[in-house]
Structure 1
Amino acid sequence: MNLSQRTEKNLYIWKIQNERSSQNAIFEYISCFYNGKRIHLSIGYFTPIQYERMYQSVA
């Protein structure tokens, strides 16, 4: 099962009741799951979480 299939499956599990709850669900997915797994070219092919940990250990 690839990422898009898991994402689609998870979206069907959430009960979206109104526009505000849908915005919260999308924000939670992006900030908690997607950005934690996705590597970024601009920060040296690290995930944002890895980059923040490296920065905090240096500072």
Structure 2
Amino acid sequence: MHYRSIAYTERLAAAGAAPSGGSVGHAYDNALAESTIGLFKTELIKLRGPWRTVEQVEIATLEHVDWFNHRRLHSAAADLPPAELETAH
């Protein structure tokens, strides 16, 4: 397993929670995050750059997250935006 601090592990145990972690060589825990980061880089950062200020990236990121969650259609979610699918669920 990946390194975890003793205090963190003890706190999880006290709360009755199990840590999330795959075995060495298996990145299943990170697959969704990596896929989302890749889309973010492709659809926003690379497409709309070059960026001149951090503030430009921050505003564009907020706009992108709003679009991604409320207007972007996802084929794996019955062609609904995530917010609509969550509301329907």
Q: TM-score, normalised by structure 2?
A: 0.37
**Moved segments of 4+, more than 6 Å:** none
**Structure 2 portions without partners, runs of 5+:** 1-50
Give the fraction of aligned pairs with identical amino acids, expressed as a percent: 11
Higher relative contact order (CA 8 A, sep 6+): 1
Q: Provide the residue aligned with 1:47 in structure 2.
A: 81
Look at both structures and tell me which one has the larger radius of gyration over its CA atoms.
2
Unaligned runs of 5+ in 1: 1-15
1:47 maps to amino acid: P
Greater helix fraction, Structure 1 or Structure 2: 1
Q: How many residues align?
A: 38
Structure-1 separation of matches of 2:52 and 2:75: 36
RMSD: 1.9
Structure 1 length normalisation: TM-score?
A: 0.52
